[in-house]
Amino acid sequence: MNPTEELARNTLLGNLPEETRRRLTARLDRVDLPTGHVLSDIGRKVTHTYFPTTAVVTLHHVLQDCFSAEVAIIGREGVVGLGAMFDDRPSADRAVVLQGGQALRIDKRALKWEFFHSPELQQVLVQYTYALMGLVAQTAVCNRHHRLDQRLCRWLLAAQDRLPSNRLAVTQEFLSHLLGVRREGVTQAAGRLQKSGLIQYRRGQVSILDRNGLEAGACECYKTSRDAVGVPRSNGHAPQAFVRAAMSA
């Protein structure tokens, strides 16, 4: 795969003109991001921006009492750390690699230079920022007004849409932080989905048995959020349609 083709694996970069992609190639580094790696954290200054190609990143906000909730999940359709271009203050959110994979990394100063010298890049990044703001707002309303079962369905579907292999490793404790609920709540909600035949989990593995059923059980926020940032719907037919998780008590 040549460098410009690799850039195209990220939807935002792929939408740029060939000339812009060639120029960015010299400034971007391909990096491997292991599951659980923290890209940015509360109180730390952000130095780089990441364009995921196969990795999936979760962005969540943490309060002073350590209570947290996910505000966005980002895959190859987006970018992580974009705000660092214009703001040198420490991060107010935590970005954690949900699914290990690759990303293209660029120094925030280099991206800022490219931003002001490429109208096409400006348009792509501004449009995505607007869409991401809508996604964050939708997630906030969802967390406030929709049942946990609906939110869990939404999250599983959103994660699967971004996973090339439909496999995910995430602890039950971490999932409770993402959804902003107690761990016991996740256990009970997953149990209800399993009883309904939508998923199956055992020995640290959650299998999606009925994706259409999950979509029916999710709130409208799933489709609204998916369409807002342009994430294709997973067909659920990868090697085995399941999400892998560490759900042990």
Residue 165 pLDDT > 70, yes or no? Answer: no
Looking at residue 92, what is its pLDDT?
Answer: 81
Single-letter amino acid, residue 69:
A
Q: Are strands 68-74 and 205-208 parallel, antiparallel or unpaired?
A: unpaired
Q: How many domains does the chain have?
A: 2
In a domain, 129, yes or no: yes
- Phi, psi angle pair for 94, to nearest 5°: -115, 130
In a domain, 24, yes or no: yes
Residue pLDDT, tens place only, 212-247: 999 999 999 999 999 988 888 887 654 444 444 444
Task: Give the span between the Cα atoms of 125 and 117, in whole angstroms.
Answer: 13
Residue pLDDT, tens place only, 111-146: 999 999 999 999 999 999 999 999 999 998 998 899
Looking at residue 243, what is its pLDDT?
Answer: 46
Residue pLDDT, tens place only, 19-52: 899 899 999 999 999 988 999 998 899 999 999 9
Q: Verify that 72 and 118 share a domain, yes or no.
A: yes
Closest among 26, 119, 128, 28 to 76, alpha carbons compared: 128
**Percentage with pLDDT > 70 across the chain:** 88
Domain that holds residue 178: 147-244
Q: In CATH, what number is assigned to the domain containing residue 184? A: 1.10.10.10
In the chain, what are the helix, strand and coil shares in percent, each to the nearest 5? 45, 20, 35
